Amino acid sequence: MRILLSTPVPELVSHLDADSGVDVSWLASAEQIESLRSKGLGGDACEYQVSRSKLDLRSVREMRRAIKQKQPDLVHAFYGRALSHAVLATLGMSKPPAIVSFRGITSKLHRLDPSDWLTYLHPKVVAHACESNAVRDAMVASGIPRENCFVTYNRVPPVAGVESRHELRSQLGIPENAFVVGTVATMRPVKG
């Protein structure tokens, strides 16, 4: 299977690149490509300049060129602009790749909003990776079939060389007998 990722998530690229049954390509700016290559990221890279607009013709052309060059079976778009670029880039293709979105917010989609039709509601988008059950429920409530929404949790990769619990508590000034709960997140009302 040939997969084109709109964003070079290093862990995902490395995981897919290690699978002999997957040919992974990813899109990034020239600077990102150079930086990620210097860190040893595998897969094939294609230049793609992300714009501020869902209708940016330059970004759509770059995405289309990458799709024609790599001939992916699947394009995974991690955010709305890249999703609209993928939808527009595949217009008129006789054998377009399947397009999969990623969504991490619980805001409902609106059937009367053209930008939602250009992205998550577009018929070319065959599946949605939802960051949580709440996001999936919001997608379903927006009219997307439940069987097209899959919960895929994000995570923070473990850091090597973590100190012992005692050292961490001492470093942070937390008493040994204190009950501790921690989270790493961007807190917004619409986050999934």
Section 87-99 average pLDDT: 97
Mind listing the pLDDT tens digit for each residue in 23-51?
999 999 999 999 999 989 999 999 998 78
8 Å CB contact between 134 and 106: yes
Report the pLDDT value the prediction gives residue 162, as an integer from 0 to 100: 62
The pTM is what? 0.81
Query: Residue 140 is part of which domain span?
Result: 2-158
| Structural domain includes residue 139 | yes
Section 181-186 average pLDDT: 76
| Structural domain includes residue 40 | yes
b/e for 165-186, b at 16 or more Cβ within 10 A?
A: eeeebeeeeeeeeeeeeeeeee
Section 111-133 average pLDDT: 95
Give the CATH number of the domain where residue 12 resides.
Answer: 3.40.50.2000
| Structural domain includes residue 53 | yes
Mind listing the pLDDT tens digit for each residue in 135-172?
999 999 999 999 999 999 876 666 666 678 888 888 88
Report the pLDDT value the prediction gives residue 192, as an integer from 0 to 100: 58
